[in-house]
Structure 1
């Protein structure tokens, strides 16, 4: 990219885009960008020398040699329109990621759920082994305080985003598929069959000498096995998994397990500070990748034992609520499968405590397509405060809002004992009336609920 000096990123504050932007800065490109609001990622990028505007305006792309656009950006965005008028090349985030990965031995993690944590675990293991990997993650890796980092080693570890089919641009050396579940179907022909077909196409982006690591516990992922024309290793709790999780338990919030290796003679004993069966699977995927890459067991064990997690992945928040022995958790979950995994983990780790959740649904289209599953999962809570749907640029869809979710929950015989709508302005007061000493209070969603969670941590409820 010797003819490219300045790269402008539209939607630079998003967690995925910010990782790419940080990497480009570390590669000494001049980076500019724009987004609609300030964020911790924008603050970090500015400290690295990126020039970032709040708000979109046509003049902000003038002088750029390349424009990278988030998939969430409207085609009528003035910066996109101006870039095309000026004949500035415009590419998507995944295309940029693919171009960068092409220079390395790439490891790409795909799947509807668990991508960020699995990618993070692989990254810290490779770093612990002294391999100094480059990584781009869809979340803030707590140990590095960043979503991306330029290493000096030969490995490039990144998430492969299936949400808009853009993962098909990526051609890694090794890939992971954590699961294949119903979400973003509008980008895959409108049904699960189209999503499955695109995951299969992704596996064939691997070279003949590459390797796919796939979760055998997930029906959607396992359904691909008969059609994959590349070497495969499986992982999970299933008895026929190549890397099989056995003796899994919790010691407080720490997950403890053994992972039986393909030879069925050796095991890797693992402790992870991130609880839950879903995180056991994420760790097993990371162990499989690391062992297949030739990393020693001691490095794997040390890295996972010291894994500090990813921001907003069942994150324990330092909070004024601790004064009442209330555990304050924050999580990015926004799909029923993710919510169910988080709720079950909380029950496993804190079995004697009530679970009080504040949930902000994300996208009307997702709420509509998965409405019944949301009702089923949310019905398992002890208390629920529902915020309005975070639209993420979508227009409201009739029957797919929080009031409709509330009504559907109210008629269930096992409805939460406390069930009500809340608002940004009234949340603290509503929580104050609902919370009891010793509860677990969970804020969960992919919108801007993190801001409210922080406010509660500082001000209490």
Structure 2
């Protein structure tokens, strides 16, 4: 690794042992992997075993299941996310022993500080857009460091320490921690009502925070924003940094035209500002939202001087991300059906999945299994969930994945089920666990169904079981 881009020779030379509390989290494991490859000794703890922990162990990370004070006893620094309570025994040990406690976003900020940082923000599409930029840069031989919230299917990993100045990373607006980052380029995919508890339940505060995030850029930085999005449209006149827009909007600097499907590929023309010529691209990613994600990546790559051929080839070779509209064909006994595994857990994301599924699979029955994620999200967006979930043909609702929250009256899975039964014509079933939902799928599935496993909790258990039991 070039010392110019190594934290080992820069600001963190006085620490060696880094301990991650909740190391299995999507935002934590990638940072841990990069720092391990920087030469630091990395340890971590988590409550639940996962394939992520297995992969980190294989890389050389020492991981303990369960949170205990002694886990942090050798640490020079303890890294946490906002999901970790201050009463966590490892956090308390660090506090009592004057060990620095560093937020995940602050550590990501340190990684960005000494590199050419590209930070991708937005309520939806961050993982896909970050992954697309990464794959184009890799195709161009730019060897970026990347930290992504999902696994690149082509590499089976979500983070890598590269040898160049570039660092491409997702940023997190859920707790406003993206304000700890200092990138040189930001992408804003969209701004939707989510995590409003962080923003005193006022959407305008969320908008204000995105403006503040963009203005963390230096005066010579660049904001790349989706002009199609209504939230972005509300802040665009307040941005006083160099800016590029993208979308299907007729005034976007980078605009998609002639969108069409050729077998499993989405093909379209990218109209770019002078002196760049239009560019025809193709991708395995379906749906208009992914067209927008591709446009954002093309805008970044073009501005960074990546050749047209590398852009086209990088997009064509992109294999997708785990649990982002991931399609499998399964045979269970006499039933042959299509399985779609998707991480989306916001009404807007679910709507995109339904629309894309209808586009690809036309009149086939859409059977969705959905697990609500956080009681607060269900409470804040209850009517939106009822409206969008009413658009499927058959629905199994799984017990809420609390993500550390306490249950909230009128915001449980059972409340959604009751509202759906009263206000929609679809058949709705309740499952108390992913295992019960798996059994329901096997009992209810019909030949040629499209089964969508939807959600961000432990609902991927269902997909894994179906893939293991069905050929």
Q: What's the offset of the Cα at 1:321?
A: 4.1
Q: What's the offset of the Cα at 1:7?
A: 0.1
Matches within 5 A, 1:136-285: 136-263=147-274, 266-285=277-296
Task: Give the corresponding residue for 2:456.
Answer: 446
Task: Give the corresponding residue for 1:381.
Answer: 392
Instruction: Report Cα offsets for 1:376-417 as digits up to 9, x if no partner.
Output: 1000001100001110000000000111111111122x432x
Distance in 2, matches of 1:316 and 1:10, equals 33
Instruction: Report Cα offsets for 1:433-453 as digits up to 9, x if no partner.
Output: 321100101101000001122
Task: Note if contact 2:368-2:392 (Cα within 8 Å) is conserved in structure 1.
Answer: yes
Matches within 5 A, 1:23-102: 23-102=34-113
Distance in 2, matches of 1:47 and 1:255, equals 37
Q: What's the offset of the Cα at 1:264?
A: 8.6
Q: Does 1:433 align with 2:447?
A: no
Given candidates 425, 429, 432, the residue that maps to 1:415 is 425
Instruction: Tell me the secondary structure at the aligned position of residue 429 of structure 2.
Output: strand
Task: Give the corresponding residue for 1:458.
Answer: 468
TM-score by length of 1: 0.97
Q: Does 1:316 align with 2:327?
A: yes
Q: Residue 265 and residue 158 in structure 1: after superposition, are their counterparts in 2 closer, same or farther (change >3 A)?
A: closer
Q: What's the offset of the Cα at 1:324?
A: 2.6
Q: Residue 429 and residue 228 in structure 1: after superposition, are their counterparts in 2 closer, same or farther (change >3 A)?
A: same
Q: Does 1:347 align with 2:358?
A: yes
Task: Note if contact 1:8-1:66 (Cα within 8 Å) is conserved in structure 2.
Answer: yes
Q: What's the offset of the Cα at 1:39?
A: 1.1
Q: Residue 448 and residue 46 in structure 1: after superposition, are their counterparts in 2 closer, same or farther (change >3 A)?
A: same
Instruction: Tell me the secondary structure at the aligned position of residue 443 of structure 1.
Output: strand
Task: Note if contact 1:214-1:222 (Cα within 8 Å) is conserved in structure 2.
Answer: no
Instruction: Report Cα offsets for 1:145-198 as digits up to 9, x if no partner.
Output: 111100001100001110000000111111100000001111123210110000
Q: Does 1:325 align with 2:325?
A: no
Q: Residue 242 and residue 88 in structure 1: after superposition, are their counterparts in 2 closer, same or farther (change >3 A)?
A: same
Instruction: Tell me the secondary structure at the aligned position of residue 328 of structure 1.
Output: strand
Distance in 2, matches of 1:63 and 1:431, equals 47
Task: Note if contact 2:42-2:62 (Cα within 8 Å) is conserved in structure 1.
Answer: yes
Instruction: Report Cα offsets for 1:104-149 as digits up to 9, x if no partner.
Output: 1000000000000000000000010000000000111111211110
Task: Note if contact 2:335-2:445 (Cα within 8 Å) is conserved in structure 1.
Answer: no
TM-score by length of 2: 0.95
Distance in 1, matches of 2:35 and 2:329, equals 33
Distance in 1, matches of 2:114 and 2:235, equals 29
Instruction: Report Cα offsets for 1:65-98 as digits up to 9, x if no partner.
Output: 0010021111100000000101000011100000
Task: Note if contact 1:361-1:445 (Cα within 8 Å) is conserved in structure 2.
Answer: yes
Distance in 2, matches of 1:107 and 1:180, equals 18
Alignment RMSD (CA, Å): 1.4
Task: Give the ranges of 4+ consecutive aligned residues of structure 1 lying more than 6 Å apart after TM superposition.
Answer: none
- Name stretches of at least 5 consecutive residues in structure 1 with no aligned partner: none
Task: Give the corresponding residue for 2:9.
Answer: none
Bigger mean CA offset, 174-183 vs 430-439: 430-439
Instruction: Tell me the secondary structure at the aligned position of residue 400 of structure 1.
Output: coil
Instruction: Tell me the secondary structure at the aligned position of residue 396 of structure 2.
Output: strand
Distance in 2, matches of 1:232 and 1:300, equals 21
Task: Give the corresponding residue for 1:365.
Answer: 376
Q: How many residues are paired up? A: 459
Task: Note if contact 2:329-2:336 (Cα within 8 Å) is conserved in structure 1.
Answer: no
Task: Give the corresponding residue for 1:393.
Answer: 404
Q: What's the offset of the Cα at 1:318?
A: 5.8
Bigger mean CA offset, 297-306 vs 422-431: 422-431
